[in-house]
Every structure is written in structure tokens, then in C-alpha cells.
Amino acid sequence: MEVKAWTYEELPEFEGCPEGAHIIATTGDEPGVMYLHDVEYAKPDGHPLHLQILIPECRNKRVAAEKKIPAEPLPCYVFVQGSAWMPQYVYGNVASLAKLALRGYVCAIVEYRHSGLAAFPAQIKDARNAIRFLRSNADKFGIDPAKVVLAGDSSGGHTAMWGGMLHDDDSEDNLFPGVSAEPCGVVSYYGSSSVMAPDSNPIQVLHCLPDSPEGRVMGGKNLLEHPELARALSVECNIDGDTVMPPVLMFHGTKDRVVNCTCSVVIYEQLKKTGHTADLYLIKGADHGGAEFWTDEVLDLVDAFCKKCFAAK
């Protein structure tokens, strides 16, 4: 065979099959995931912030790209990695989110400025700038800019909830003027979204003190002495009938030792009370995260929720 720059279609296929060998048939549509790691999306105050991006791929898609046939853009699931607002291990959910990428979503894991660098609401502004970056680079990553959902777990769930509530497109913190940061929907996995109850974090004895995660993210303040800061941080205290909020999907384990399950219950009830669209699924026996949140059943719920949000736009 001649050695040259063969295209896929031009290369003659090997047709033989040695005795005892086997052939596995394929269609070219078998799903795979391409992982782009540590993609810088912003550098606020000189601190580089990154995205982990998972892009669905298959052989037929690669062949189409080789022929310069544009692929249909895909919805984007923007996921904020939780960390008690401290430095994030942004690689922890890469494998789990790959399951959603296999269903046809470009997934992007957001790194935000942690509490040692900036106080609330910097984390929310970072997440919204991540959405703007992805929309600005939609062609590069194969994203449909009209189909973006913002999600997160633990403190990332808090960030996702606020990302659907904090509308700051005209502020100086917008690094991509003219590009929307509004998500079509919000998904919170065991979100650390309220600090109002004394047992909101069952195994944390420093509740609302300056060295607690919530105290640190509010600038190292004692939230017991500054209840107005605790209310400013807690999602349910900032939702009323006039709050602009996309549909919300929430998951929480019934034996969560880090963030009390009642935190999501209180927020769900406030959303429903104020006329917002919200669904809450309590995962029996689940602790703070784990494989229970990435089962086919949960992924089916997330997929259906996203599709419903996109159809409503």
C-alpha cells in the first residue's frame, strides 16, 4: 500500500481475517468523549481560572470534520465543582460527568476563585463568566449557545443556584460584554445553599464562625454576629415572587453528614411558595455525594430536565 496522507474514506479497508481471529462490527456512531484539560477562561486579579471540558465524539463525527461538514451543535452542561468554597479538586467528577457527555452534552467543570482569594459573590461571577466564555467559543467546542444548563455540587450547588439568580450582565465583572450568562436551568446536587439553621452542616462544629467555610467565604466574618451576612449567603432568603430564576432541579441524600438535607428542602419549599418551577429528589441513604448521584436513573432525570428547559426557550 502506498504511503501518503490518506483520508479515512480513501484508505482501503483490510478485508482479511486470519483463522481463529474475530471481527467486531461497528457503525461509527459508538459514543466516546474527548477531554480538554485546564482550559483557561479568565484571569481575575491575576489568578488564572480553568475549565475541564468533555466533548462527545465518535468516528463518524471525526470523518465529517475531515470533510469540513459542520456538526450539529450540542447542549452544554456547566458544572461547578464543590469544595466548601476552598481550593477545588476540579478533576474529581470528570469520570462521572463523562456519563452525561456520552448522552450528547458538552460538559465543562468550572474552577472559581476560592475563599482564600475572594469573598462571595466572586464565585458566582466566575461561574457566569465561564458560561460567557463557553458561549463566546461555541463554535470551537461544538456548543449550542442557546442550550446551557448550570449545575454544581455542595458549594458548587450554591454557586449554581446563585448563578441563576444573580443577573449582573452590565457590571464591570462581566469579562465578555454583550454575551449572556443566563442558564436555561439550574441543577443543584446536595447544595450547601443555606446556613440559617444551626445544624445546616451536621459535622461542622464551627457553624458560622470566622474559620468556618461559610465564615471564610463571607470575608472571615462571624455570621452569628452578622446575621445579615448569613441571610445574604443563604439562597432561600433571597427568593421571592419577583426573583428571576430558571427552572431548578435538586438532588440531596437523606443521610448527608456535611450539608443537612433540610437545606435543599427549605429552598425547594421557598421556590414553590414563590411560584417558581422546581423539582426535588431525595436519594435514600445517600451521604454527601457518591455514585448514587450518577446512576442511570438520576442521569435520566437530568437529561429530561435539560431537554424540557431547552424546549421552553
The CA distance from 108 to 64, in Å, is 24
Strands lying side by side in the sheet with 32-42: 32-42, 49-57, 106-110, 74-80, 143-153, 185-189, 248-253, 278-283
pLDDT band, residue 170 (cuts 50/70/90): low
pLDDT band, residue 172 (cuts 50/70/90): confident
The CA distance from 35 to 29, in Å, is 18
Give the distance, in angstroms, between the CA of residue 215 and the centroid of all CA atoms in the same chain.
24
The CA distance from 312 to 299, in Å, is 20
Residue 308 and residue 247 in contact, taking contact as beta carbons nearer than 8 Å = yes
pLDDT digits (tens, 9 = 90+) for 126-138: 999 999 999 999 9
pLDDT digits (tens, 9 = 90+) for 27-72: 999 999 999 999 999 999 999 999 999 999 999 999 999 888 988 9
- Whether pLDDT at 169 is above 80: no
Residue 143 and residue 54 in contact, taking contact as beta carbons nearer than 8 Å = no
Per-domain residue ranges for the chain?
Answer: 32-192+245-312
Instruction: Assign a CATH topology to domain 32-192+245-312.
Output: Rossmann fold (3.40.50)
DSSP string, 169-232: TTSTT-SSTT-----SEEEEES------STTSSTT-TTTTSTTSHHHHHTTS--TTT-HHHHHH
CA dist list (Å): 83 to 66, 115, 155, 214: 40, 10, 6, 11
Helix-, strand-, coil-residue percentages of the chain, each rounded to 5: 30, 20, 50
Please report how the helices 94-101 and 296-312 are oriented relative to each other, as an axis angle in degrees rounded to 10.
Answer: 60
Give Dmax over CA atoms of the chain in angstroms: 79
Q: How many residues does the chain have?
A: 313
